[in-house]
Amino acid sequence: MKKTLGIILSISLAFSVLALPIFAAVDTTTSATVEAATPAAPATPAKPAATAPAAAPSVDTSKIAAGTYYTVVSGDFFWQIAAKHGLTIDALAKLNPQIKNVNLIFPGQKILVKAEEAAAAASTSTSTAAVAPAAKKLYQGIGMAANYRDNTARQKDHDNLNITTVAALFDDAGKIVKLQFDVVEILPDMFPGWMDPEAADKSFYKDAQANGFNWETKKEEGDAYGMKASAVSGKEWWEQMNFYEEYFKGKTVAEVQDWFAKYCDANGRPYKMAYPEKLTDADKAKVATFTEAEKKMLVDVTTGATMSLQDPHSRFIDALVKAYEVRKEVK
């Protein structure tokens, strides 16, 4: 039977940190074995040249291959499919060269998870198919850090409570595979009298419902949070958090802590090498001790994000440490 594997890209929905567990997926699978068509034998030359035999013709990997396929269902992730079938992400990607972005898969898509021996042999220059290394174990962790911010010195009645959340996926070496930062900021004007110790009913939720507040996180607010105009980098809050999430991938929690301790100022912000006019005298003295490579790295970082990683607004480093401490293996 011949089947044509269509290539459709679909943008994966961003997951909410507060909707736990964020990395969990439905464990529903279907599989099927597909027979590959036998390619026509090449014509034999009338007079073979007295040279070494030509290499076997390469297989057009954009066409469907013979083997066992997995059908993607809602909630699936590429790494999860790879782990479920004893493959690394790279090994599964090599089996499916038609997938240009492993972060973009969609329900109903068929992914080759096991090639038949004949197909595997044809895709290599040797008769022995390479054996994929054992898949790494993955661990999920959710960390939260709440802190109260006294802001009355700058703005009357503008104290606030901030709840920082970090959801992370780690490999068995402790390196970050996936990461999401978010914050819920609770302001007094959302709940009149919410800090009154004499209040009979201190229910945030009840007051929130009465005032039409739906508990949006800063990421859920998106552009409405309104930081672009005041941000040094000219980027919205959620854009800067997305940058940090990508930048810290591949690092361990200890490496992130070391990076923060060395390259962030007293306010928890990376030294603004991309904006030298914003550097204080203390900052300039510190960055003068860095190598040229370190300075270039800070230019790259602060072009993408300058928000604090640890201050009264948010405590991402603390929450990341907690996420790692409570991590559980993903089954």
Taken in order of first residue, the domains within the chain and their CATH numbers are 65-113 (3.10.350.10), 136-328 (no CATH)
Closest CA to 114 of 136, 84, 73: 84
Give me the chain's average pLDDT, please.
Answer: 75
Q: How sure is the predictor about 173, in pLDDT bands with cuts at 50, 70 and 90? A: very high
The answer, yes or no, to whether residue 80 has pLDDT greater than 50, is yes
Model confidence over 113-123: pLDDT tens digits?
A: 988 754 444 45
pLDDT, residue 84, reads 87
Question: Out of 99-108, 159-168, 189-198, which region has the weakest mean confidence (pLDDT)?
Answer: 189-198
Contact in structure between 169 and 138 (CB atoms under 8 Å): yes
What are 156's two structure tokens? 């009357």
Prior bond to 21 cis, omega within 30? Answer: yes
The answer, yes or no, to whether residue 126 has pLDDT greater than 90, is no
Say which residues have a Cβ less than 8 Å from residue 162's Cβ, sequence separation at least 6: 146, 147, 148, 149, 183, 184, 185, 186, 312, 313, 314, 315
The answer, yes or no, to whether residue 89 has pLDDT greater than 90, is no
pLDDT, residue 120, reads 46
Comparison of pLDDT for 117 and 31, the residue scoring more = 117
CA–CA distance, 160 with 150 (Å, rounded to integer): 7
Average pLDDT estimate for 296-310: 94
Closest CA to 155 of 125, 189, 119: 189
pLDDT, residue 118, reads 46
- The per-residue b/e assignment along 177-201, b for 16 or more CB within 10 angstroms, e otherwise, is bbbbbbbbbbeeebbeebeeeeeee
Contact in structure between 184 and 215 (CB atoms under 8 Å): yes
pLDDT, residue 95, reads 92
Contact in structure between 170 and 139 (CB atoms under 8 Å): yes
Instruction: Tell me which residue has tokens 């973009």.
Output: 104
Burial class (CB in 10 A: 0-12, 13-18, 19+), 299: middle
Say which residues have a Cβ less than 8 Å from residue 26's Cβ, sequence separation at least 6: 73, 74, 75, 76
Give 152-157's long-range contacts (Cβ < 8 A, gap of 24+). 157/188, 157/189
pLDDT, residue 262, reads 96
Please provide the size of the chain in residues.
331
pLDDT, residue 263, reads 97
Which segments of 65-216 does DSSP mark as H helices, in order? 78-84, 89-95, 117-122, 204-210
CA–CA distance, 62 with 109 (Å, rounded to integer): 15
CA–CA distance, 148 with 313 (Å, rounded to integer): 8
